[in-house]
Amino acid sequence: MSESTLKLQGALLLDGQHHKPFSLRNIQQQSQRSQFSVQSQQSYPPDTSDEVATTSTYLRRGNLENLPPVFAPSNAAEQWRIVKSFELISSACRRLDDALKCGLDYEKWKPDTTLKECLEQYGPNELPKPKMESYLTLWIHSFYDIMMILLVIAMIILFAVGDVVAASAILIILLIATNIGAYTEYTSNKAAADLGDLPGVSLVRSANHPDNNQGWIHVVNTKLLPGMIIQLKTGDIVPADSIILSQNEECHCNEAMLTGESEPVHKVEYYVDGDDQQETKKPGTILEKKAENGDEDEEKALDENSHRKEQDILHHREAMTRLYMGTEFSGDCVALVVETGERTQMGRIFQAMADEEQEMSPLQKMIDKLVLILALVSIAASVLNAAVCIPTGRGVQPDSEDPQALVCVLNSVALTVAAVPENLPVALVIALAAIIKNLAKKDVIVKSLPAGEELSRLNYVFSDKTGTLTKNEMTARAVVTSEGFVGLQDQFVGPQDCTPLSSESVSSSQLPTYVRLLAAKAQDELRSNPTGDACKQAYPKELDSDENIIFERVLLETATSTTKLARMAVNINGQDYLAKVGSDWVLRGATGQATMATDLGSFSMSTVEKFDYDQSLQSLEAWAKEGYRVICVAVKPVAELPEKIVEGEEGEFGDGFIFLGSLVLQDPPREDVAENIKVIRGAGVVVTMITGDNPLTGMSIARQVGLADNLTKEEEQMCLINAYEFFRDMSEEDAKAEIRVRLDFSMTHKMGLIIGRVSPLQKRWFVEVANDMKLVTAMTGDGANDAPALRGANVGIAMGNGSDIAKAAGDMILVDSSFSGIVEAIRAGRLGFDNILKFLLFLLGTNISEVIIYLTLTFADVVIVLDALNLLVLNLLTDGFPAIALSLEKAEGDLMKRAPLRRDTSVLNRFTYISITITNLGLLISYVVVILVGNMWYLGNFRGYDTGAVDDYDKGLKQTRMLFILLINIAELLLGFSHRAPDRSIFSIGFFSGKWMNISSLSSMVIIILMTHLPGVKNVMGTDYLDWQGYLLVAGMSVFPFLVHEVAKVLIIEPFNLSVYELCKYEYTGSKTKKSITKEASSMSQPDPEAL
């Protein structure tokens, strides 16, 4: 077996004694200790398939007796440990065998051929991207609508009978509507897709590669394969699920995007502990032990369940050695790739999300229902008109040269055009596109049109903490002394039982400055980690220009996960000090307590008090229980500094120290969160925090942003939930029953819950129960662990700096990850619903009146003067322009001060019926009067069939048509103004205050006048000039529908609160819930640092 092959094999053979991966020398030395030679390793059971005899070969055969002697178990207990530990990497070993055969053997590297074959077998190391539909596909899908199909049929009929002008007009309308919708959705999807990360490059070990760079080559992350050995350094994003083989310094991973845990997770190299079956665990600090011990009864219960404890140990060991794709790494290590692409934890979450089917939004259901009703009405009216017209000839103009049946068919087509609001799809798309465009200006990307309107009904928000409510960066928040604390940011709120120092005492003391200075100088400038970076940021920059304080750091021993503290030798203004900075271990050996009068620059023992260990520890616990990380600082004046700090020896660092105080760190809330939560709650929306982090950390943040103000003990017990402890022994049915109880309490009392230590599955439970309770939910998040809940919520809101999985799962993306984007999104959603309601009421009112008057004329045997072209032009200019203007209306008042609408709110409600009835009543009266009077004036009788009643019947017919067209145009334009305020007088908001309505109405009127009066064009429209009586009749009767609508709003709708916002206002009426499953408060009051 070649040396290079042994290197690769040795990367998988892990030395449990030294906790180091084997090199060739390790294998040789260990083999000699086992009275085994390297040559003798070739005498293992021969491999007839010529595959490399890696460890997986023996594991796969299940023959533990033939394992290399370094793994030969000495007893049953050791065998159990080996097998259990190798379960973590056995699949990776098997894949490594295949990878070697595919050409990854260092001596047989053939990247141009075998690597390609291997990639075809395992697939690229990337998550499957959501399939983005092409523009053409979206455009074609726009025709999958019964309203569009009816217009297409009408267009074909008109082309078939030779009415090219009318058919072309329908074609233009179809192209405009479908292209606007397709373009808007395509650009939104493309903007979301463009947020994806570009593939990075990793260092992969390859000893004999032609481009060898000290044994490492650069490989694009998408080409990584299981079995490859990669190198990771601080700042790298882990490219694939891996196991640490060796490390040159302490390693941490920020797994917030997977677990929601804001604290970086300490990582260690993989090893098999050969001494006992218990997990090798370094001793924790006093505060950690107190947090881990928790309630004695709970510990007793855990001890009784040994099986679960063993599983927890194995799970914890795996978590400490595993690096997960997409997480941020700090440290320096060599790792083995074990899973790539869809097989990673990220990939599994993505796959689970992709399998979910999206429920249709209420807007989609409402529009589909409305379109179906209009289509049925259109078909029924057309069939009825044809059934009456063809046998009787009613409605056919007496001078028509076309066959009676053809004229009846054309009249029926015209009726179809009148019944179908061709502008509805255009106005709807423009209204939703306006939401998307306005939100895009505020860095909010809406991926689907209905998602924007869905926000108008939103009444419950599940907000992730890390990265959403907080900045996802550790920050120094305060300095704690024996006399109180000093906040380092404006409006900082500490724990309830802690006292802030007065501004006078702070301004006259240097003690907080020295705590910040020593905490910052205890960090290694060359290394980066969240805690160290936060301490460095706390450095008091004013000291750079302060000549009264001269600081020199002579020696430094940085903190590790074992020591828990840093040790320094410093000089301040000529005075030598030893300093300890770190965990509460710093308190050990302290004999004195500094006061606010203590100044290290001119030190005096008279300002130092006797140290009270219990009181200091109790003060630190108060901060630790709130989720803060506490960095303690103590100094010891010495006559002379030591020459060096000996690792592992206390020496002069044992006792005699003076405890100065502590620097407390926290992932702080975003600056705008508190104000925006106040606005959202004022809009009737309940905000709940749901996070994988410590629930007490969540409670601390909740108090700072206004989610948990002045809670009573009972309210806190109901609102604060440690999901890991609370649900761990429950079945899914019981867990969901309890969730229903908590959500019922939350909605009844308008209080958000603080849910910590929650798993992705439990997040989904909360969303499912909320949906089952008919709540309209939004889920915000940035991590892959949020993806299932993002997809399950009515509106999924992903953060722009989050994972690609979260972005793919969300309906919306907050590009700058600002919580203010949620406020803007809700406001835009409500404005969108308002505008959709306005133009739907307008279109339904005007179109229905046209259908009614058309059928009435047919049954009454009155001549029908309007043809399909006339109705198309009117629908486009008279209905379409105002409808589009209504879809672009600005907000009326503060939309965030009214209650949300019910989820089942439909345009077809009592308010709609009243409004449409009033509109139709006014229009029908005007139509009947003008038609009857116009027929008498210009055709000689009311029915208009007597060609001999006037001298020029054709001119009279054209004048009657002109009369009717102008009436419809002006009357409906005035109604468009009235519908800007559908539930109150238009004059309350200003008649001409709508810019787009002014422009559209003026444009519509000018075009209609030109089309009906210009020579040549008026012949196409079939119109002729009116006398002054005709224009006066049009002017008078056009105002009548507007007056009827305005008077009805003032006398009926406003006094009786018949507005849609009153009739359909959401009011929570409670939920049928089981009795709450009572849990001890202790499970909520202590964090569980190992519960992941």
SS3 sequence of 780-827: EECCHHHHHHHHHCCEEEEECCCCHHHHHHCCEEECCCCCHHHHHHHH
Residues recorded for the chain? 1092
Instruction: Note down the domain range covering 248.
Output: 201-354
- 637 belongs to a structural domain: yes
- 104 belongs to a structural domain: yes
Listed residue (193, 199, 195) closest to 125, CA to CA: 199
Residues 456 and 514 in one domain: no
- Each residue of 167-222: pLDDT tens digit? 887 888 788 778 877 776 777 667 656 554 545 666 666 544 444 445 677 778 88
- 248 belongs to a structural domain: yes
Residues 686 and 658 in one domain: no
**Surface-to-core class of residue 217, CB atoms within 10 Å of its CB (0-12 exposed, 13-18 middle, 19+ buried):** middle
Please tell me the distance from the alpha carbon of residue 1015 to that of residue 1024, in angstroms, as a whole number. Answer: 9
Q: What is the CATH number of the domain that holds 206?
A: 2.70.150.10
pLDDT of residue 457: 86
Question: Can you spell out the DSSP letters for 70-135?
Answer: GG--SSHHHHHHHHHHHTTTHHHHHHHHHHIIIIISGGG--TTTHHHHHHHHH--SSPPPPPPPPH
- Number of domains making up the chain: 4
**Surface-to-core class of residue 187, CB atoms within 10 Å of its CB (0-12 exposed, 13-18 middle, 19+ buried):** middle
The b-or-e profile of 393-413 (16+ CB within 10 A means b, else e) is bbbbbeeeeeeeeebbbbbbb
- 398 belongs to a structural domain: no
pLDDT of residue 396: 75
Residues 464 and 491 in one domain: no
- 562 belongs to a structural domain: yes
Listed residue (518, 680, 676) closest to 600, CA to CA: 518
Question: Can you spell out the DSSP letters for 342-389?
Answer: GGSHHHHHHHHHHTPPPPPPHHHHHHHHHHHHHHHHHHHHHHHHHHHH
Please tell me the distance from the alpha carbon of residue 319 to that of residue 322, in angstroms, as a whole number. Answer: 5
Residues 529 and 659 in one domain: yes
Residues 687 and 628 in one domain: no
Token look-up 């500490």 returns 494
**Domain boundary pick from 779, 804, 822:** 822
Identity of residue 91: S
Please tell me the distance from the alpha carbon of residue 516 to that of residue 488, in angstroms, as a whole number. Answer: 10
Please tell me the distance from the alpha carbon of residue 520 to that of residue 512, in angstroms, as a whole number. Answer: 12
**Domain boundary pick from 292, 326, 354:** 354
**Domain boundary pick from 802, 822, 842:** 822
| Average pLDDT per consecutive 10 residues, the chain (1092 residues; last block may be shorter) | 32 32 32 30 32 33 35 39 41 43 39 56 74 81 79 84 81 80 72 55 55 62 79 86 82 76 75 42 43 45 50 60 86 84 79 61 73 83 87 75 79 78 76 80 77 81 84 87 89 81 85 93 73 80 80 87 84 93 89 92 90 90 85 94 86 91 89 90 92 83 86 90 88 93 94 88 90 90 76 86 77 82 87 89 89 87 83 85 92 86 77 91 94 91 81 90 94 96 92 94 94 89 92 95 95 86 83 50 37 29
**Surface-to-core class of residue 1015, CB atoms within 10 Å of its CB (0-12 exposed, 13-18 middle, 19+ buried):** exposed
Q: What is the CATH number of the domain that holds 572?
A: 3.40.1110.10
pLDDT of residue 194: 57
| Number of Cβ atoms within 10 Å of the Cβ of 134 | 11
Q: Is the whole model's pTM more than 0.75, yes or no?
A: no
Residues 555 and 647 in one domain: yes
Strand pairing category for 484-487 and 754-756: unpaired
Residues 461 and 496 in one domain: no
Please tell me the distance from the alpha carbon of residue 374 to that of residue 380, in angstroms, as a whole number. Answer: 10
**Surface-to-core class of residue 1079, CB atoms within 10 Å of its CB (0-12 exposed, 13-18 middle, 19+ buried):** middle
pLDDT of residue 799: 81
Residues 339 and 462 in one domain: no
CB 967 within 8 A of CB 1037: yes
CB 419 within 8 A of CB 151: no
Supply φ then ψ for residue 273, to 5 degrees: -80, 115
pLDDT of residue 80: 39
* Both tokens assigned to 578: 């030893």
Please tell me the distance from the alpha carbon of residue 899 to that of residue 902, in angstroms, as a whole number. Answer: 9
- 740 belongs to a structural domain: yes
CB half-sphere exposure, 485, CA atoms < 13 A: 26
Q: What is the CATH number of the domain that holds 677?
A: 3.40.50.1000
* Both tokens assigned to 987: 């004059």
Please tell me the distance from the alpha carbon of residue 87 to that of residue 759, in angstroms, as a whole number. Answer: 24
Listed residue (375, 376, 385) closest to 413, CA to CA: 385
Residues 608 and 502 in one domain: yes
Residues 729 and 635 in one domain: no
- Each residue of 124-151: pLDDT tens digit? 888 766 667 788 888 888 787 777 888 8
Residues 645 and 736 in one domain: no
- 1014 belongs to a structural domain: no
Listed residue (796, 830, 793) closest to 814, CA to CA: 796
Listed residue (583, 597, 549, 594) closest to 665, CA to CA: 583
CB 668 within 8 A of CB 475: yes
Beta bridge partners of 552: 571
| Number of Cβ atoms within 10 Å of the Cβ of 1028 | 7
- 923 belongs to a structural domain: no
Residues 785 and 677 in one domain: yes
Strand pairing category for 241-254 and 328-339: antiparallel
